[in-house]
Amino acid sequence: MLQLDAHGRATVASMDATDLSEALEIRELLESAACGNAIRRISRSMLEDLRRALGNPESATPNNASKVHQLLLSSSGNRYFQGFSTLVRMTEEVHLPATAGYPANAGKLRNLQRGILDKLVEADGKAAQRRVHEYFNELHLHLATKERPDQ
């Protein structure tokens, strides 16, 4: 999430709209695949962790959204999926909140995340994957209709 310049100063890694869109495409593929694995491996305690991360819609934060997606990747039991937690944090906590109009869409995104959890609880992997695609479709729609501020 951080870049070091030639003088050793750290700054937050920047992403333009194209970079962000491409990062979300990778995440969509990973998280959709993670759902299939999660159905076979997810524990009750992991489901409870997901519920806590979703928390109260009024107290939703980018950090909570990031945690939901990181837990999804972790619940897959695949350490390579888990290795993408930095990409999740960069997109969910840093770059998406910087897009115009993001707070207005946060509630809808939270509901889509709840749909993913509901399908994991039901052990319906295909439906969970569809919910993941719906979540990322909403993000892509958001990016297509909102201009990002200059970095």
What digits encode the pLDDT tens for the residues 67-122? 889 999 999 999 999 999 989 998 998 888 888 888 888 889 989 999 999 999 99
The pLDDT value recorded for residue 81 is 92
Comparing 61 with 150, which gets the higher pLDDT?
61
Q: How far apart are CA 72 and CA 74, in angstroms?
A: 5
The band of 65, judged by pLDDT with boundaries at 50, 70 and 90, is confident
The pLDDT value recorded for residue 1 is 47
Q: 93-125: string of b/e by CB count within 10 Å (b at 16+)? A: bbbbeebeebeebbeebbebbbbbbebbeeeeb
User: What's the DSSP call for residue 3?
Assistant: E
